[in-house]
A = this chain, B = another copy of it.
Amino acid sequence: MIGSTHSKSDDILDVAETRMRGGGYDSVSFRDIAAEVGIKSASVHYHFPQKADLGVAVVQRYAERFLETLGAPDDPGESPSERLARICEGYRAALFDQGLLCLCCVLGAESGALPKPVSEAVGDFFAGLLDWTARALEGEERAPSAAEVISALQGAMVLANATGRPALFNQTAEALRARLG
């Protein structure tokens, strides 16, 4: 299948990402991934020799896709408020529709136990996201800082997840948007 968008390698990353977002790095095993994909664990090692390789690949793909869906932070056809709305909506949809947190929020919380290459990739994600957010809100007077925005959203996901009350995410997200006017 030339040009196929569907490879076993992608399947592995899909399953690994979903599982990591649901329970963290250690809750993912080669065997479980293999069983769900329909191959053997040795075949997962073929694509990703070490678990850290898999972890880095999952984080990097997540980061790329995420920033891609956010679009350009300086698109003149869009207001800071609209850009903030889009980042909120991205997180909200995942949380409500699939019950999944931000991958890097989950991994960031257990950062101390991760292989260094993985935790570095997580750090890079946040650096990129902070940068995007700062640009997206540039020029706004009463706007919260990028760190405030990202902190609020990440924390709201944890809170909603831990209490089983997804509405708590909305509460924080809408307060954020209200502050931008």
Contact = CB atoms under 8 A, between A and B. Distances in A.
Interface of A: 22-24, 26-27, 99, 101, 104-114, 119, 122-123, 126-127, 130, 144-145, 147-148, 150-156, 158-159, 161-164, 168, 171-172, 175
6 contacts: A24-B109, A27-B113, A122-B162, A126-B163, A147-B168, A151-B158
Contacts of A26: 24, 26-27
Q: Quick one: copies of this chain in the complex?
A: 2
A119 to B, nearest CB: 7
Please provide the 3 A-B residue pairs with the shortest distance between their CB atoms, ordered closest to farther. Answer: A23-B113, A155-B155, A108-B162
Contact of A162 (B119, B144, B162): B119
A161 B27 contact: no
A163 B107 CA distance: 12
Interface of A (DSSP majority class): helix
Given A22-B113, A109-B109, A158 B156 contact: no
A109 B106 contact: yes
B147 A159 contact: yes
